[in-house]
């Protein structure tokens, strides 16, 4: 498997089993234990033949083909740590990574995949998430993964083949979806968006579910039809590399001067600022957040209807709503 020696494979098996126990103890897949078997079966180390970790002189590269046994052992143990792994750097900037496994487990459970579903993954990364989906569905042809960078899709395809999976790996702009493989029952993005692409809705069957990082949260949308989707955020935080190719202006920094200290330290308040993106000033946002009982992410949602999209608190037709691009 992957051309590694038997000692490396034995260590990988043990480390993978420990990772599964760790995620299991966290309760990530209590609602859908079928994912436990997928994580136990799919070897993450095949998808990260090298990765980078912060070191005293910048990033240190860990490599599975190192001639030093101790270095290979560090690589294997790191591959099965419950942390995100930097897999591709450009001019010192992270452009691709393998997400934290426990977060991946939480997202896959929240996607609510059912037997026979056709799934589009936006952000191929290493290919590991696509392999988990293919294993769960029992059919590679039901899974499509797309990424803008040819070198990322080429390496993802190699990793998938090494693990025995051959889903459709497409090079293209994920914001445009992959219409030739539609319709989809589920869409999952592993990169942060600044808007919900209308192309995704058009490529989904009615009742489809979309799960995507958005404004440092995870947004779960139900597609009503080709022009209408609506849903809420999951409770926890989520931070991802932005989707390349969507075309967005980087927001300027927001000053919190003059606000109470907890405005600077309470992450749910900063989520509100990220979600409203200037539609509320910091003082106005803080007054609302305090008045409404310091709401967490689960009370917010997003509606997409035709050319319009808006974020809201508690009720899509309620008094607290903010336009999105």
Active-site residue set: 96
Query: Which residues is 225 bridged to in the sheet?
Result: 228
User: Residue 52: is it exposed, middle or buried by C-beta count within 10 angstroms (0-12/13-18/19+)?
Assistant: middle
**3-state secondary structure (DSSP) of residue 16:** helix
Give the Cβ contact number of residue 250 at 10 Å: 6
Tokens of 281: 């000033």
Dihedral sign of CA atoms 206, 212, 214, 220 in order: positive
* Separation CA 200–CA 235 (nearest Å): 24
Query: Which residues is 322 bridged to in the sheet?
Result: 311
> DSSP labels for 23-92?
HHHHTTTTT-THHHHHHHHS-GGGG-SEEEEEETTEEEEEETT-S-HHHHHHHHHHHTSSS-EEEEEETT
Tokens of 94: 């992270």
Q: Contact 244/148 with Cβ under 8 angstroms?
A: yes
User: Residue 213: is it exposed, middle or buried by C-beta count within 10 angstroms (0-12/13-18/19+)?
Assistant: buried
């Amino acid at each position: 498997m992957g051309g590694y020696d038997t000692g490396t494979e034995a260590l990988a098996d043990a480390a993978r089993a420990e990772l599964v126990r760790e995620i299991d103890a966290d309760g990530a897949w209590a609602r859908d234990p079928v994912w436990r078997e997928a994580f136990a079966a799919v070897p993450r180390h095949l998808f990260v033949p090298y990765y980078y970790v912060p070191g005293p002189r910048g990033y240190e590269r860990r490599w599975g083909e190192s001639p030093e046994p101790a270095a290979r052992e560090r690589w294997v143990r790191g591959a099965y740590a419950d942390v995100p792994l930097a897999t591709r750097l450009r001019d010192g900037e992270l452009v691709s990574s393998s997400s934290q496994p426990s977060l991946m487990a939480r997202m896959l459970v929240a996607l609510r995949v059912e037997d026979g579903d056709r799934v589009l993954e936006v952000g191929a990364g290493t290919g590991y998430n696509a392999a988990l989906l293919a294993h769960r569905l029992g059919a590679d042809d039901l899974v499509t993964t797309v990424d803008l960078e040819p070198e990322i899709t080429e390496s993802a395809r190699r990793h998938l083949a090494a693990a025995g999976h051959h889903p459709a790996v497409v090079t293209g702009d994920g914001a445009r979806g992959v219409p030739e493989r539609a319709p989809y029952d589920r869409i999952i993005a592993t990169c942060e968006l600044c808007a919900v692409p209308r192309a995704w809705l058009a490529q989904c069957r009615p009742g489809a579910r979309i799960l995507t990082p958005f404004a440092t949260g995870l947004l779960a949308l139900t597609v009503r039809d080709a022009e209408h989707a609506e849903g809420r955020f999951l409770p926890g935080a989520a931070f991802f590399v932005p989707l390349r190719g969507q075309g967005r202006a980087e927001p300027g920094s927001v000053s919190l001067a003059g606000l109470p200290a907890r405005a600077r330290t309470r992450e749910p308040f900063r989520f509100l600022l990220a979600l409203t993106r200037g539609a509320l000033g910091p003082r106005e946002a803080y007054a609302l957040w305090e008045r409404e009982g310091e709401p967490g992410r689960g009370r917010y949602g997003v509606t997409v209807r035709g050319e319009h999209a808006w974020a809201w608190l508690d009720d899509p037709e309620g008094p607290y709503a903010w336009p999105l691009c």
